[in-house]
Structure 1
Amino acid sequence: MARLATAGRDKFSVTRAFLGAALFAFERMLGRRSPPERYRFNTSLNGGDRSMVPIGTYERVMPLDVIPTYLLRALVVGDTEQARLLGALELDEEDLALCTYVCPGKYDYGTLLRQNLDEIRREG
């Protein structure tokens, strides 16, 4: 039972899905800073494939004037025509780094963008 009460305590969450996000916010209110080693940041899937979940996190972190959810969805499925219409030609891999960071599905959107741009170049 105690293990259930502390589930997610050592996990960082942008969407406040884990207990660690609440504890981090509480410590910030108290003026304490969390040690950098508290959260191990990695892109481990911890079990396998996940789906792209559009819950508004991409819109909150995207600094450019594009519609991120539809663009990222087009990149994931490899729809180069839709990606081109949504502004993929104006982006670089680093422009999607924050979307990669907050993605609940752990997609690497920079790599997906590069694959789609290469495909667009091959198609002419």
Structure 2
Amino acid sequence: DNRVVTGSVLGGRTAAGSEAYLGRYHSQVTVIREGRDRPLFGYLSPGKERHSVMGIYISSFFKSAPLPLSTSAQGSDRAMVPIGAYEKVMPLDILPTQLLRALIVGDIESAISLGALELDEEDLALCSYVCPGKYEYGTLLRENLTRIEKEA
């Protein structure tokens, strides 16, 4: 079973039903395996065929073949843990951990002072990818920007 995405995997939208077309501003269609399988005690496995940006699985030592990626989030949502992952992938000169915390709690004053008005949803796609708490920061940014627009 596959998922069709209009745009990139990091910033695209699911193309299904009546919306199964290439988006207006997209130049690619991506097909990725639907990850519906839930392994029993998957957190106890050494991760021979699992990908991690932080290098916590044994697969990070053996970089021979590309690992299979899917849409699975590998578990439920967790709390945001500041372990330095956001600073490694953020290409802009901002404080990503503090900004992302402000977006999560809806603190628009702090978000504005930390540079939220200079960002777009796809600027936070890599932060969503490396997040151990599995947050979608692009959606959180859009919600906060809409709230800023209504209140300002």
Instruction: Note whether the superposition's TM-score is higher than 0.5.
Output: yes
* Structure 1 residue runs without a partner (length 5+): 28-33
1:97 and 1:4, CA in 2 relative to 1: closer, same or farther beyond 3 A?
closer
Residue of structure 2 in register with 1:107 after alignment: 135
Q: CA deviation at 1:49?
A: 2.4
Q: CA deviation at 1:22?
A: 1.9
1:4 and 1:49, CA in 2 relative to 1: closer, same or farther beyond 3 A?
closer
* 1:83-106 Cα shifts (integer Å, max 9, x gaps): 011000000001111111111111
Runs of 4+ in 1 over 3 A off after TM superposition: 3-6
Q: 1:20 aligns with which of 59, 63, 68?
A: 59
* 1:55-82 Cα shifts (integer Å, max 9, x gaps): 1111111001110000001011111111
Larger strand fraction of residues? 2
Percent of pairs with identical residues: 55
1:43 and 1:86, CA in 2 relative to 1: closer, same or farther beyond 3 A?
farther
Q: 2:49 aligns with which of 10, 23, 28?
A: 10
Q: TM-score, normalised by structure 1?
A: 0.80
How many residues are treated as equivalent by the alignment? 111
Task: Report the residue type matching 2:69 in the other structure.
Answer: R
Question: How large is the Cα RMSD of the aligned pairs?
Answer: 2.1
Instruction: Please tell me whether residue 42 in structure 1 is matched to residue 71 in structure 2.
Output: yes
> Counterparts of 1:104 and 1:94 in 2: how far apart (Å)?
18
Residue of structure 1 in register with 2:101 after alignment: 73
* Structure 2 residue runs without a partner (length 5+): 1-41
1:21 and 1:117, CA in 2 relative to 1: closer, same or farther beyond 3 A?
same
> Counterparts of 1:90 and 1:76 in 2: how far apart (Å)?
17
> Counterparts of 1:91 and 1:101 in 2: how far apart (Å)?
17
Which stretch shows the higher mean deviation, 6-15 or 86-95?
6-15
